[in-house]
Amino acid sequence: MTILECTDVSKTIGQDLVVDRASFALSASQTAVLSGAKGAGGVSPAETLLEMIAGDMPCHNGRIEIGPEIKTGAVWHLDQLVSGNGVFREARSAIPTDETMKEKLRTMELGMMYMKNRAYLDLQKEYDKLSREFEEDAPEKDDEMITAILDLFGMGEETYLQTVSELDEKYRMRLSLAKLLLAGVDLILIKKPEEYLTHEMCERAGEWVRQRGGAILAASDTPDLFGENTAVINM
């Protein structure tokens, strides 16, 4: 499945041609790195293209196509972090609410209003069972997943109660990436990962996304950060 397709994308900033007819496709379970020296005016073509894909600046020439059901997230969008939240709470906020289970429980509640005797008792028993699973088991599993992701990015228990505002930029970037992974975002965009992620962090983040059928597109001066199976797109 194609997640992203760029066709003859060009970008001029002022009088400088920064992106020149970039064309490539990114498929599900793929990691790719845009690589290339800074061009005219000292502007990075790789980072400029990422910003266009993220919607930070318009694409006037060529086409950028993202699948209609594809969720996209940019790690550098730090304004999406809530500064007053603790680190663990902020990470938990990324996990999608199970609306399907909530709806099922609401339907059962309505059903019990009109039932009597044995049918009511059977439904009540099933309702209680599902309620316990929803309120106890799921959060416990979520906590294990959050802990694993935060630990991967060097944020142990000592950081859980620190507020987002207390983190330096490197750790805010890591937390932003952690949230995108926890949210199950299909296409994750990363600029300069070498400045705040280790080789191991990049490789494991890539594995996490690929296992879920998503993709990572990064702009980096270190193309091998995400492992040997990374596609390198020269700008």
Domains in the chain, CATH or no CATH each: 2-89+151-234 (3.40.50.300)
Q: Could you write out the DSSP letters of every residue in 31-47?
A: EEEEE----GGG--HHH
pLDDT of the residue at 173? 98
- Cβ–Cβ contacts within 10 Å for residue 162, how many? 15
From edge to edge, which strands make up the β-sheet containing 2-13? Answer: 16-27, 2-13, 61-66
pLDDT of the residue at 43? 87
CA 78 to chain centre: 13
Handedness of CA 39, 220, 31, 168 (dihedral sign): negative
pLDDT of the residue at 127? 64
d(CA 34, CA 137): 41
| 3-state secondary structure (DSSP) of residue 106 | helix
CA torsion angle for 111, 113, 116, 121 (degrees, to 10)? 70
One pLDDT digit (tens) per residue for the chain, 235 residues: 899 999 999 999 888 889 999 999 999 999 999 998 776 667 899 999 999 999 999 988 999 999 888 999 999 999 999 999 999 999 998 987 655 555 555 666 666 665 656 665 666 677 666 666 555 555 566 888 999 999 999 999 999 999 999 999 999 999 999 999 999 999 999 999 999 999 999 999 999 998 889 999 999 989 889 988 899 999 8
Q: Could you write out the DSSP letters of every residue in 53-69?
A: HHTSS---EEEEEE-TT
Amino acid at 6: C
Instruction: Yes or no: say if 52 and 45 are a contact pair by the CB < 8 Å rule.
Output: no
pLDDT of the residue at 80? 94
What contacts 104, CB < 8 A, 6 or more positions away?
130
Burial of 181 (0-12, 13-18, 19+ CB in 10 A): buried
Strand partners, 19: 11
pLDDT of the residue at 142? 83
pLDDT of the residue at 157? 94
Instruction: Yes or no: say if 191 and 218 are a contact pair by the CB < 8 Å rule.
Output: yes
d(CA 233, CA 235): 6
Tokens found for residue 109:
């509640």
| 3-state secondary structure (DSSP) of residue 15 | coil
